[in-house]
A and B are shown apart, each in its own frame.
Chain A
Amino acid sequence: MGTAVTARAVARRQGMTIRVAGESGEGVITAGEMLSWALARAGWWVSTFRTYPAEIKGGPCMFQLRVDRKPLDTAFGQADVLIAFNDEAVELHQQAVRPGGVLLYDRHSDGSAPPSVRSDITARAVPFSEVASQQLQNRLTKNMVALGATYAAMGLPLDSVREFVARRFASKGQAVVDVNTRALELGYELARVQLQGLGPLSSLSEAEPDGASALARRETRRVLLSGNQALCLGAIAGGCRYYAGYPITPASDILEFMAQHLPAFGGVVVQTEDEMAALGSALGASFGGVPAMTATSGPGLSLMVELIGLAVMSELPVVVVDVQRAGPSTGMPTKTEQGDLNLAVYAGHGEAPRVVVAPVSVRDCYDVASRVFRLAERYQVPVVVLSELALAQRTETIDLPPVQPQAPVEDRGRLEAAAAPNGEYRRYLDTEGGISWRTIPGEPGGLHVITGLEHDEFGHPNYDPDMHRRMSEKRMRKLERLQREVEDNPSEWVERFGSPQARIGLLGWGSTYGAAREAARMAEEMGVAVRGLWVKMLSPLPAGVVREFLAGLDAVVVPELNMSGQFLRYLRAMGVEGPLVGLGKQEGLPFAPEEILERVLEVAGR
């Protein structure tokens, strides 16, 4: 990245970005989560990012946290402060600290040479380990010492962190709560003496969170959620009442959340023996009339492909969540990627039209998940929700979402096509919009057998050339209709940002939205107007909306976390023409806003 770009970008930043780094097992994530929670509780808007190894112990681990007075789009990017738990973390992460930033690192207790540090950042050795092992005889509390020190350096009161420590360790007994609280306090004392007035670290204490009155802040109810949690809550609100899943990073916590909470809403959860069983059983539940979901990651979606075809052919609603991670094969289980678009849109043999949607933020995970069950039920199709590790595991403060739970089932197509003209029930009655009346077991009037074989209107296997063409058209027609509906009323399925008059565009999908929106703001401040469109309905693609967006643009950057430009190619395959410029990243990490900004400035000739 050009240093000029970086310097200009940094100048406009507000709030603070803190990165905690160390080895897996050192408590990096725990410290980061506590810091986020405490700051969120104090009224700051928080956004976080984490990256960790696939192994449970060992390997580099990082938690980045950004706080501000206003809602944040992304936590990824340069840090103001780096808290390093060991020398390797100093080495790996100091490049991510902005010039003028601060580094707090663990002081060597054996007198060995300290790690070498860039000259343009302020580094302080703090005895995290020493305090933990000598004063508390518990090396594991190093992260709490560091957390306390950080909090003191920020000039913030310790109360809310203390509260979270008590909550977090409550299940482990009072002794654990006590030693961690003590570590926190020792770290706090340490920093009060050593670390006062350290540049950017103290910036928060001078500011009021929120920029609003204390009263207004008290009335704002907020929740700090991960994308996966938001998605689960949205699914429950949207009517999901059966969940089946097989453990896989980074989707396992969806299974865990649903197992914990769905039964209270009258829903059943099963951990199946594999992903085929997960989707198979979800289809069984759906056949029984119960809205069903499964969640997995790329390898699991690969295994589910045949059953997605079955859902299309038998016209069963179902929701399949793919929390993408870096592939192919086992790939990098704990790293992010937008590599499954092709799979989600095209997977399967034969012509198998399905719906594919992609949320763009944590809040959007809630909204999208709350809508997809109705969509699946209405069109009697599988809906694939493409989330990503970077979206699923990042946490964000959001205002409590509106709670309007709804049963997704309206009429199962009955209003559309109750019966054939002679009064017969036909499961696959070939209607104008392609939607037929779906009865469920227990309804006396509508006995039928559904099948993955091509079939006639009754569902009886039928291999006539004309029938195959007709039924293929019927299944396709449902999506054409959905496409028209989205194009006529796209507000729920696209996000827009920037200036309508702009000549430069940003076009994308999924988790890159936040970084792109921030890049657009940065560009705007540098005098380059940008407008952006993030498409949340990927299949059927509302191509008309995209074309309209492209009108008048001289260049459009399409950032994607993959190498081949899957979305760019897909747009072109769907007949979207325009001055599209790809921007790929295949590193297992999200975009920093600066990376997108750089390409925007480049195409703008700046």
Chain B
Amino acid sequence: MSVTAVPSPKVAGDGPAAQPLKPADYKGIKPIWCPGCGDYGILNAVVQVLVRNQMDPSRLAIVSGIGCSGRFPAFVRSYGFHSVHGRVLPVATGLKLARPDLTVIAVGGDGDGLAIGMGHLPHAIRRNVDITYLLFDNHIYGLTKGQPSPTTEVGHTTHASPYGVAEYPLNPLALALVAGATFVARGFSSHTKHLADVIEAAIRHRGFSFVQIMTPCVTFYDTYKVWKEQAWEIGPDHDPSSFEAALRLATQAQGLPIGIFYRVEKPTYLDRLLESVKDGQRLKEGRRYDPGDDARRLSALLERMAVR
């Protein structure tokens, strides 16, 4: 495979711009997805959000795992970390806890997030770290050429499931809800404007925001027709502060409801840490090094432990 190397950002000229930033200012290297891939819709939606909010590319970090979605960070002009399969949430969590000043977006596919990386999802939710997780769900392993994923429908045949998938699919939204997520939403790559609204709300949410994005794989599992027929935008009659209503919508609704299912405010991991630790002043101020204070504290600690 070869990648068209577009010039990297120059040392000068980045950062908060004098001129309003345009979509082109947020574009990284040229995407390498198949023509027609739903992921282009997600990329466009994300760029729309960045333009709308005139976000500083240098204060944005996008973290990914492995899969077609894994390459996403390189296609947005920002800081990015393309990590390993399934570990996007731990990496994003560590980054945000270390650097609360950054906007951190985690992206990953249904294989990355619901199979190999599933163990991390409920815990990222429990910590309620202020990051946004975009789950690119195409119901298939695209990059490895079409094996069934945790969201593939029962009976679907692939090379790896020649007699039909024998496992029942997971319901990512219901999972996120029962794990205690404070923001749960679904978007569809073909409804780009709506998706941008959902992503923007997710980024603005203070705490862990989970967005399942339906994004068809044109090459290995073309679901465009079905999803376009099924998709409907959740209206104002839904109360996103009601857990029961959200769970009902996630489990019993006809078709494919898209929009914000659930949204509540809860203290984040850092909020709780700052509230509870005995001496959190330095943490609060983000003051990691202070030679004088470090020496004083370390000496005091050693003195407390001293036997004589």
Measuring CB to CB, which residues of chain B are less than 8 angstroms from any residue of chain A?
A: 1-3, 5, 7-12, 14-16, 28-29, 56-61, 63, 71, 73-74, 77-84, 86-87, 89-99, 101-102, 119-120, 122-123, 127, 269-270, 273, 277-280, 282-283, 285-291, 294-295, 297-299, 301-303, 305-308
Contacts and interface: CB of A to CB of B under 8 A. Distances in A.
A267 B283 contact: yes
Nearest to A221: B306
Interface stretch (A6-14, A96-104, A238-246): A238-246
A407 to B, nearest CB: 4
Interface string A289-310: 1101000000000000011011
Q: Is the interface of A mostly helix, strand, loop or mixed?
A: mixed
Given A43-B308, A223-B305, A445-B14, A287 B81 contact: yes
Interface string A404-423: 11110000000000010001
A289 B29 contact: no
B94 A452 contact: no
B5 to A, nearest CB: 5
Contacts of A284: 63, 81, 90-98
A476 to B, nearest CB: 21
Interface in A19-74: 37, 40-41, 43
A448 B288 contact: no
Q: Which 10 A-B pairs rank lowest in CB-CB distance, beginning with the nearest? A: A284-B94, A444-B15, A281-B94, A280-B90, A449-B80, A285-B98, A266-B282, A284-B95, A288-B99, A405-B294
A435 interface: no
A310 B84 contact: yes
Interface in A262-289: 263-268, 270, 272-274, 276-289
A239 to B, nearest CB: 7
Contacts of A406: 291
B250 to A, nearest CB: 23
B123 A272 contact: yes
A407 B295 CA distance: 12
Interface residues of A, number: 84
Q: Is the interface of B mostly helix, strand, loop or mixed?
A: mixed
Interface string A441-454: 11111111111110
Contact of B123 (A241, A273, A440, A446): A273
B298 A277 contact: no
Nearest to A453: B82
Given A268-B273, A462-B3, 9 more contacts: A223-B305, A264-B282, A265-B297, A266-B288, A284-B94, A285-B98, A292-B98, A447-B14, A461-B74
A169 interface: no
A281 B90 contact: yes
Interface in A423-477: 423-426, 440-453, 456, 458, 460-463
Contact of A463 (B1, B78, B86, B288): B1
A306 B87 CA distance: 10
15 contacts: A264-B277, A265-B294, A280-B91, A281-B90, A283-B83, A284-B81, A284-B93, A285-B99, A292-B94, A423-B12, A425-B8, A441-B60, A441-B61, A444-B14, A448-B79
A41 B308 CA distance: 5
B12 A445 contact: yes
B11 A306 contact: no
Contacts of B84: 280, 306-307, 309-310, 452
Contacts of A440: 79
B79 A447 contact: yes
B302 A233 contact: yes
A229 interface: yes
A222 interface: yes
B90 A404 contact: no
Contact of B298 (A37, A233, A279, A290): A233
B298 A403 contact: yes
A401 B302 contact: yes
B306 A268 contact: no
A550 interface: no
A233 B301 contact: yes
B3 A287 contact: no
A237 interface: yes
Contact of A285 (B9, B78, B94, B273): B94
Contact of B278 (A264, A270, A277, A456): A264
Interface string A309-329: 110001000000000000000
A221 B287 CA distance: 30
B127 to A, nearest CB: 8
A292 B90 CA distance: 13
A400 B305 CA distance: 10
Contacts of B283: 263-264, 266-268
A327 to B, nearest CB: 23
Given A263-B280, A264-B278, A458 B87 contact: no
A338 to B, nearest CB: 28
A404 B295 contact: yes
Given A263-B277, A289-B99, A460-B29, A283 B82 contact: no
A444 B87 contact: no
A336 interface: no
A261 interface: yes
A282 B94 contact: yes
Contacts of A423: 10-12
Contacts of A40: 307-308
Contacts of B306: 221-223, 400
A220 interface: yes
A287 B94 CA distance: 9
A425 to B, nearest CB: 5
Contacts of B5: 456, 458, 460, 462
Contacts of B86: 276
B76 to A, nearest CB: 9
A263 B273 contact: yes
A397 B307 contact: yes
A222 B99 contact: no
B123 A425 contact: no
Interface in A213-250: 217, 220-225, 229, 233, 236-237, 239, 241-242, 244
A301 to B, nearest CB: 16
Interface string A190-221: 00000000000000000000000000010011
Contacts of A237: 294, 298
A426 B8 contact: yes
A424 B11 contact: yes
B87 A276 contact: yes
Contacts of B14: 444-445, 447
Contacts of A404: 295
Contacts of B305: 223-225, 229
A266 B307 contact: no
Contacts of A264: 277-280, 282-283, 297
B79 A441 contact: yes
A431 B100 CA distance: 32
Nearest to A425: B11
B308 A221 contact: yes
A269 to B, nearest CB: 8
B239 to A, nearest CB: 32
A449 B82 contact: yes
Contacts of B29: 460
B166 to A, nearest CB: 28
Nearest to B7: A424
A264 B297 CA distance: 8
A447 B1 contact: no
A455 to B, nearest CB: 9
A208 to B, nearest CB: 15
